[in-house]
A and B are shown apart, each in its own frame.
Chain A
């Protein structure tokens, strides 16, 4: 793997130039309401960023699929209705120092956003964004990115991948976008330095690998065969159906569409984040609800992530960031649930169906 050595000063000047040119640069920074927490927020200079402190509270999802987003504006007129379109092109932005789990999630969600019909709002932002990923050093016992085929060292969906070294960073250029961002910055790195970057990446992997074994490809099929297994009832007992897991999840992309008035005649149609964990998500206007109990809704979340999405798109709809576990008020722990299911799948590959 080829790296270029980039000094702190070079990275700082890159950020300064981008900001000066009007490009939004988003990086992990100390949260405004709680200095112990980290949020992804726009920065004005490199010193604003807080790398390597802890995983940001929320993923990068909101920069591509905002929590609420206008799809169109409408206005009632004498002759009917006027629609004002919203632009599908987005202004350029750079994401700097994101974790592999948050970055890879974007490429995972690309699959559904491009399935059959292309969601231009999502892809408009994807195309306008250059992503610089930073080797993660913030893993804890809840992280399981390596179990879903990623890792803190994964450069998936990144344009540049940075490994911190003494005095600066080793930068791996992955795409023409990443090349364009560097604009020739950085010098050839010595072989010894490159080897140390590789070693740091592999060390980081090992720290996560101990948390959960890699989920085997057959798990997807096993889950769908066990759709009616009573274990879902037990596994979901602590779920309150609040949907916090989905809000923080980098890959949960389900949304609602609603009209909101700003006057009697005008308003906007919006899409808002939604969650399959809430009781109203699937209820028909007749009152009939295909998923009546919380265990059915929890099963849907698990099936969607680890069976439906893999069978439709060849990808697990989870990047192992662990935010759902850390936020859950009921103490539901996804790696723990996965561990139980993997044990069941491994112990009784077929027999456990009923």
Chain B
């Protein structure tokens, strides 16, 4: 075992795996676990086939166009959720709890295809990046086995942390959850789409943290703003009816 390659691969893969697990847990808690896990499983199968077929040639995969497409799709969907989440919290408050209301009114009783697509895209994009990390570190040091073990350890550790955290996430009132998951999907979408266009982010991957904080803060500000518009309008209507 080449421990230097193992640790490097583990740390580099962890950044990507955290993003992957965050999307799977968010989609599972807010939409459908069945769709989210099926999407993640489908993406892992596609990845396994890609790795078997292409092997070390994966190093040459152009990541920028993939980031742009996946990022733009996540951004379009995430911004819709963010907007709906803000509006519902402003209209009805944060108080509604687990099981009292479906988060997404459009989730059909059958299989949740949007949830499947979100999870599939998140896992396949991040999975390709992990595969590229493994191939890059492994091929450079002639230690593909150690690099693969490092990435696999990262998936196990972060996956277990994700499974533990979902119980905490599931305690958040559902309207608030939709707002914050919308902010999170919008954050990933903004970051990836911009990276696909060769934008350099201040702080590199750390930009995900401040961008997420920025969208969450903007969402909370917009909740107050929309509540204010509604109160103003009610006061005007009340005055007109007297």
A interacts with B? no
